[in-house]
Amino acid sequence: MNKKIFPLLIAGFLAITSAKAQEPTTWRGPGSTGIYPETGLLKAWPANGPAIIWHYDELGEGFSSPVFANGKIYVSAAVDKVGYIYALTQDGKLEWKATYGEEWTENYSGSRATPSVVGDLLYMYSGKGVVTCMNATNGKINWTKDVMKDFSGQNITWGVTETLVIDGNKLFVTAGGNTNNVIALNRLDGKLIWSSKGVGEKPAYCTPLLVKLASRTLLVTMTEKHIIGLDAETGALLWSHEHTNEWAVHANTPLFYDNSLFCFSGYGQGGVKLNLNGDGSKVTKAWFNQKFDSRIGGAVVVDGYIYGSGDKTRDWQCIDWKTGEQKYASQAVAKGNVIFADGMLYIYSEKGELALVPATPAGFNVASKAKVELGSAQHWAHLVINNGRLFVRHGKSLIAYKIK
């Protein structure tokens, strides 16, 4: 090999490796879509459910999901009013545990947000409204920002519940103040980059969605009464669309597909499809479906169909992305959260059921079903797939199931 070319190849390899290491983890998988790229997964489970590879049962209270980075598994939890990040090995052994500060205890005690990891830095947002940047190798705190005090933010009934979204060196937070409604912080030092007035509403438990268009990157989120679209570079409010429900709870990250958005929430509100114009500066309403009213379970869009569960209706539903038409409704499994991989829907119901269902508009046909026997409290944490394993967080337990 040419001696001049070899160093260039090495440099290129290191640059690619470094770039991948700097990609932030995201809640609900790549792009926050709920769609995981794994293949070769089981199409049916054994009669008694997928085999448990390992389980870690010494977490504190919490409703967050695990994330995977640096060869570790990171998960948040709270013990006696104090929030902790747990760093586990791939075989479920505790490597370290470090506090990020006080956690929410007023109702449904425990951690809400899933940690976000970029390289050797980890970011956590507590239910009390404090952003903490930690060293991802040992948990040492680098900096903190109290969003409620430093930016006149507003907390909400069940504590802010937002996994921090990161783009480059920008870290976005829905502060919920009249002036500092949505803010972007420098993730390296916590300093304010921009502040947007938004529409001046409280947060609504929503983790935002980044939409990367040719001309700009949009930050789309849901606040108390509106869906809003911001320019992620400047914080400028580009558009808003009214979307209300009984308790101002809009906990589902919006979906983006075919240059359109689907934003949905529970308590009978339902979901709306919004078409974006070319540069994302405007939206127009395409259709509205009141029956698709998932409260906290998320949804996935696969091959032009939306899959998820209702709240008041309690049905598992399939909706045509183009028209909003309901293709089926089924109560074969209790309502809950859903992700997708390798042709199948992975469902975790509020009754502790795991279900494997082919993703097809032809019908809701359960291929396999199992019961989550370990853990404590509500079955609310969203599922995660990593390296042929299905991860279920149930309160104080994190369970790794074999699905490949």
Report pLDDT digits (tens) over 172-222. Answer: 999 999 999 999 999 999 999 999 999 999 999 999 999 999 999 999 999
Rounded to the nearest 5°, which phi and psi values hold at 335? -60, 155
Could you read off the pLDDT of 249-269 as tens digits, one per residue? 999 999 999 999 999 999 999
% residues pLDDT > 90 (the chain): 94
CB 111 within 8 A of CB 83: yes
Q: What tokens were used for 104?
A: 């929410």
Rounded CA-CA distance 73/136 in Å is 11
Q: How confident is the model at residue 115 (pLDDT cuts 50, 70, 90)?
A: very high
Q: In the sheet that 94-102 helps form, which strands lie side by side, from edge to edge?
A: 67-69, 72-79, 82-88, 94-102
pLDDT at 16 over 50: no
Q: What is the mean pLDDT of residues 333-341?
A: 98
Percent of the chain with pLDDT over 70: 95
At residue 212, the pLDDT reads 97
Give the pLDDT mean for 337-354.
Answer: 98
Looking at residue 1, its pLDDT comes to 52
Beta bridge partners of 255: 262
Confidence of residue 22 (pLDDT cuts 50, 70, 90): confident
Strand order across the beta sheet in which 384-386 lies: 52-56, 397-402, 389-394, 384-386
Residue 148 has pLDDT above 90, yes or no: yes
Confidence of residue 29 (pLDDT cuts 50, 70, 90): very high
If one counts every other C-beta atom within 10 angstroms of the C-beta of residue 51, the result is 11
Domain covering 22-214+309-402, topology: Lipocalin (2.40.128)
**Cβ–Cβ < 8 Å for 207, 223:** no
What is the residue-averaged pLDDT of the chain? Answer: 95
Is pLDDT above 50 for 6? no
Res 19 pLDDT > 70: no
Look-up of token digits 């980075």: 69
At 30-52, the pLDDT tens digits run 999 999 999 999 999 999 999 99
Give the least confident one: 4-8, 269-273, 316-320, 328-332.
Answer: 4-8
User: In angstroms, rounded to a whole number, what is the distance separating the alpha carbons of residues 342 and 284?
Assistant: 33
pLDDT of 78-88, one tens digit each?
999 999 999 99
d(CA 151, CA 202): 13
Quote the tokens at residue 146: 């109290």
Instruction: Give residue 13's pLDDT.
Output: 43
Per-residue model confidence (pLDDT) at position 2: 56
Domain boundaries, the chain: 22-214+309-402
Q: Are strands 35-36 and 336-341 parallel, antiparallel or unpaired?
A: parallel
pTM of the full structure: 0.94
Query: Which residue shows structure tokens 């032009």?
Result: 304
> Helix, strand or coil for residue 151?
coil
Token pair of 29 as six digits = 């998988």
**Nearest-5° angle of CA 68, CA 73, CA 76?**
105
| Sheet strands (E) in 70-189 | 72-79, 82-88, 94-102, 116-118, 121-125, 130-135, 141-146, 165-167, 170-173, 182-186
Give residues with Cβ within 8 angstroms of 258, minimum separation 6: 304, 321
